[in-house]
Structure formats: structure tokens, C-alpha cells
Structure 1
Amino acid sequence: MENLCEYKKNQEHKLVYAWFDNSEKVPYNRGQHMSDLPDSIDIVILTHPKELVPFEREEIKILKDKGTKVAYAVSYDDIKAKYDEEQITASQIQMKENSENTFDGFLREEVKKQLAYSETFDGVIIKFNGKNPKYMTDEDRVSYEATQEVFFNTISEWEKENKNKFLSFQGKPQNIIKKEQLSRFLHIIIEFYQVTDVNKFSLTIQDCLEPGVPTDRFIMAVSTPSLDSSDTTTGYLGKELATIETAYWITSISSEYNKSGIAIDNVQNDYYQTNGTYRNVKEVINIMNPAPIK
């Protein structure tokens, strides 16, 4: 255990982030227990951080004892979608007409509320896709920049009070107007979910390489295959597993940017393997960080 913690903390290696669906609060098989995840995963991101039950808190401690950090996500786009959905009653519409900054106020309070879940966690993933400001009018860009200021300033306030916790960014860094905001993040997670060909990975990264975007900390996000047998595209690049192909791609060297590791969505799906639990995740780890040959 001591060697494992030392490896994660101090030894240079390709990192593994993993999203774990902890929505089941009364688990009925081992695949619903985060404590069964492979030991070499560096950061586990829980999808339901708000109400942790006793067994989850115990398993978070088990992960931390292994040197694994536990985090959750705060998503700008999810907050925006929630706000838009709530604008359906006449009273809300009237309120919106009477205030030019209704969403900014809603955004600030929602971010504060979600960041307050962080006591049990080691860090937070800040998700932001947003819109590309290049195609906005000057007026829309000014408004959009002000909204981004609200979002990131609220995070900064939390950060000052939580210096022992980390922040990572997920989404589209090219859509952040003030790119200096990105320097605070431990890693920048780029989503490859819609990429269908490994040869297009580089193009996805190139879209992000605007002046001011840090190039020394990219993490590539892909998914495990769906447990729905009718879904033959999620988690695949053609007929190959996206996790495995991405792991090999990460081991290749680029002179333009650093491939710091992988992020695996729906990691719990890989538990259900006929030839060994979490077999593909373990293979990903071994591809990126092969054990030394004795």
C-alpha cells in the first residue's frame, strides 16, 4: 500500500481518471462498489456526489488509503440547461424580462451550492463546453464574457478557501475567452466521445490549441462500451475498443502537446467481463504504464 501511494504521488506516469456511476445506493453486486476498482486508477469521479450513504463514505476512505483521489464535477452546461428548463412558467418568464442578469445570478448560486458538496472530496472537475465566441456579435460576446466571469470568479472564491483540493477542467478550452483562467487547473480533459477514428484524435486536440491554452496537461476522455447490447457505437472506434486504442495513442510522443493520461467514462461497465473484472481498464493501465521488466 505504501509503494502504491508513493507511485501515485511521486512517480511520473500516465494518469487514469475514471467516472464511476454511484447512483445505486443499495448495491446488489460488486460492480456497484467503487472499492473494487483497479488500484492503479489515480482519480475517481463520482457521478452523484450530493447524498453519500455510509457504505460510500467507507469506500471513499478505502480509495484514499490507496492514494486514489476522489472528485466530482460541476458543469456549466448542465446548470444552463437546468435554468432554461425552468423558464416555462409565466411568472418566471416575467421575472426574466425584468432582469438582464437572471441567469448570472442563478449560475452563481448553483455553482456555490454544488461546490459545497466538496468536503468529502479531494477535488472538483469544472466542466465547460459553452459556445464558440468567434461566431458571436460584439454585444453577445460581452454578455458571454461577463457570464464566464461569474462562473470562474465563483470558483475562485471557493478555491481560496479550499487550497488543499485540486481543480481539473473538462470540455472545450477554446471557448473560454480569458484563457489565463485555464492555468489554475491540474489537467485539461478533452472529450473524444464523438471521435470515430483514432486518426482524428490529433484534429480534436488541434481545435483546442489556441494561444493561452496550456499544452502540458491534456487528458483524453473516452467511454467504455454500453451495457445495452443494441448500442454498438458507444465505447468503440470502428470495431476496436476506444479505451485500448486511446491508451496506445497516448503513448506516442507529440512535440506540440503533452498527453498526460486518459479519462474513462462509465468505468463500472468494464467490471462485467467474462474473462476477468475490469480487464480492459487494467490493460489500459498496463499499456500506458508497463510494469518494468525484471
Structure 2
Amino acid sequence: MKTLTNRLCTGLFLLLALLLTASCSDWKDIESVDIAPKPAKEQNPELWARYMESLRIYKQERPHYITYGSFDNGVEQSKNEGAYLRSLPDSLDMVVLANSENITDYDREDIPLLQEKSTKVLYRVDYASQTATLSDAGKLGAFLDKAIATADNLNLNGFVFTGSPLYSGTEAELAARKEAARLIVAKLSAAASGNKLLILEGDPAFVETADIEKLDYIVLNTVDINNITTLKLLVAGLLDNKALPKDKLLLAAKINNQMTDETNVKQDAVTIMTDRVASLGPLGGLAIYSVGDDYYQTKMHYAITRTAIQSMNPSN
């Protein structure tokens, strides 16, 4: 009797082992599962189209304070999403590629995404940092031609150029600086005809009075100002120049910089500048440098930039 029982137990044990082996084999089979998230555009095309239209109306038809972002592009492999153009706030009016001479494949992919949201993407011609090497008119002309060709190839929405006037030097040096400014404005304004933009980053005195009307905006040299009194004096002095329309002037601040306010308290520079766009002018708006640096915050993504936009345009 024990032998029969033992045989039955052995048989049941083997059968159970076979079942378990088959089950384990089934568990090890690899099945593909589609977990790729769909972009918002694909999830609800109709809602996406309505959102794109609302952005277009806000940026192109509604009067509002302009928000200009300077983005440090050119990063091939990023440590986080904040280094890509696609991660910028949708409500930015325009973005200048700070490293326009180093356009990556990632930049090329993201530029049309911004433009779909009616964000203008601009090429930066950094004459100020290359003045010594571009002192010859021929070299400067070739430099500008290359920039124009690149911007045209990328279907960009205009140009930003840097420059500062020469307040001392020989007559020849002063004349050469003025001629360089005239050449820059002449070439870039011709390339920016139609609905493209032309913007100066720097001292308005770099450009001759007759050429001011060719500029859409002027981003003032306020990034390195660290107290509100200096800012007020600078803006007041500029506004005395009746050739500078207030609505063309943009205050500038950099992410993570600080300024001292009227009560001698240090605050975030972007926040202070945002509050002064209306009170010191009203001016045309705000330029935010290193706009990608505030992507990861303890409060929320790109909190500083979005707050600045909403503070200047609360009804929009």
C-alpha cells in the first residue's frame, strides 16, 4: 500500500513539476508593449489646433508686453530636458539662439516646433565679441553674408546683433566703428524685410539715429546692473532721447542674478525687472538671458520665466 502511495505521490510531483516548468517558460516569453507617450498634437488634433490659434492671436494680434528669451543652444547631449529649445514656455514671443554659429541637429529639429507656436526664432550676430577680428569691412561683410545664409537656410524669423559705440580713439577708429554699424544695419535690415525682426542687443548709441527706425526692438544693457537706482538713472537718461521709442526698449535680466531694490533688499533680478517694465516706461517688455537655466526648480519647471510673462500680461 505504501508503494502504491509512494508511486502516486511521485507521479503527482512530476506532473506538478512539468506544469510549473511550462508556466515558468511562459513567464519568460518577451512580449512587446507599446508604452511610448503620444504628443499632445496626436492625442487631440482639434484641441491642439485651437491652442495654436490662441497662441497666434495672443502674440500677433493682442497688445502685450514682449518677452524675449536668450537661449544657450548648441548642446549636443544634454544632462536634462531644459537644454532643448522644445522645453521653453509656449508664451515666449521670441527666442534668440545665443550660439547661432553652432546649430546642432537637435536645434534644427526644435526650431519648427517653436515656430508652430508662433514663437519667432532669431539668429544672433555677435559683432561686439568679435570687433577686433571684424575690423576690416570685407571681413565683416563676409561674416554677415554667412549669417544671413544660415538664417535663411533654417527659415529663421530675423536677426539680433550686438554692438557698442566707441567713445574714444582716433578719428579713423571712430569712423570705422560707425561704418561697421551702418553696414550691419544695412545688410541685416535688407535680409529682415517683410515680417522678420531686427533687434539690437546693446547701447542704442551704437546705431545712428537715422537707423533706429529700422530696428524693431532694442535690448538694453541692464543685465549686469545690481541695484535699482542705477537702473532708474539709466532708463531715465535713455528716455530723454526722443529718438528712442519707449515701446521698442526691452529691459534685460539674467536667470539666477540678483538686484538690490529700493529698500536695500536683494531680490531675483528677473522679478525686479519684470515689475519695472511698466513703472519705468511703460517700456516694450523684458529680455531674459540664460532662459533655459531655470528649467529645474523646486517650485515648478521654468517657473521664473512663466511668472514674468504672466505678471506683465495678467489678462492674457
Task: Note whether the superposition's TM-score is higher than 0.5.
Answer: yes
CA distance in 1, matches of 2:103, 2:225: 34
In the alignment, the residues of structure 2 paired with residue 137 and residue 33 of structure 1 have an alpha-carbon distance, to the nearest angstrom, of 45
Of the three residues 292, 295, 300, the one matched with 1:268 is 292
User: Size of the alignment, in residue pairs?
Assistant: 257
Alignment of 1:36 with 2:63, yes or no, is no
Report how far residue 62 of structure 1 moved: 1.4
- 1:208 matched to 2:232? The reply is no
Post-superposition Cα deviations, 1:142-183, rounded to whole Å, max 9, x if no partner, equal 343333333333334434xx534211111111233x211111
The superposition leaves residues 168-216 of structure 1 with CA deviations (integer Å, 9 ceiling, x where unpaired) of 111111233x211111111111021221112322222244343533333
Separation (CA, whole Å) in 1 of partners of 2:150 and 2:69: 19
1:103 to 136, 143, 160: 136
Deviation of the 1:57 alpha carbon: 2.3
TM-score by length of structure 1 reads 0.79
Where does residue 86 of structure 1 map in the other structure? Answer: none
Q: Which residue of 1 aligns with 2:191?
A: 158
Question: Could you say which residue in structure 1 is the equivalent of 2:161?
Answer: 126
User: What secondary structure sits across from 1:216 in the alignment?
Assistant: helix
Determine the C-alpha separation between the residues in 1 that align with 2:105 and 2:182.
Answer: 37
How far does the alpha carbon of each residue in 1:204-238 deviate from its partner, in whole angstroms, 9 at most, with x for none? 2244343533333101111001xxxxxxxxx1103
Residues 253 and 142 of structure 1: CA distance in aligned 2, closer, same or farther (over 3 Å): closer
* One-letter code aligned to 1:247: T
Structural RMSD (CA): 2.2
Which residue identity lines up with residue 201 of structure 2 in the other structure? Q
Question: Are the counterparts in 1 of residues 189 and 214 from structure 2 also a CA contact under 8 Å?
Answer: no
Please identify, of 199-208 and 4-13, the stretch whose mean Cα deviation from structure 2 is larger.
199-208
Structure 2 counterpart of 1:167, one-letter code? L
Change (3 A) 1:208 1:175: farther
Structure 1 vs Structure 2: percent identity of aligned residues? 25
Larger Rg: 2
Q: Secondary structure at the match of 2:76?
A: coil
Greater relative contact order (Cα < 8 A, sep 6+): 1
Q: What TM-score results when the alignment is normalised by the length of structure 2?
A: 0.74
Mapped partners of 2:248, 2:178: distance in 1 = 24
The answer to which of 27-36 and 14-23 deviates more is 27-36
SS at structure 2 position matched to 1:272: coil
Match of 1:172 in 2: 203
**Amino acid across the alignment from 1:25:** E
Maintained 8 Å contact 1:75/1:126: yes
Aligned residue in 1 for 2:57: 6
Q: Mind listing any 5+ residue stretches in structure 2 that lack a counterpart?
A: 1-50, 261-265
Report the CA distance shift for 1:175/1:136 in structure 2 as closer, same or farther (over 3 A): farther
- Residue 140 of structure 1, CA deviation: 4.2
Pick which of 122-131 and 7-16 moved more: 122-131
Is 1:224 the counterpart of 2:255? The answer is yes
Unaligned runs of 5+ in 1: 84-101, 226-234
Q: How far apart, in 2, do the equivalents of 1:291 and 1:75 lie?
A: 35
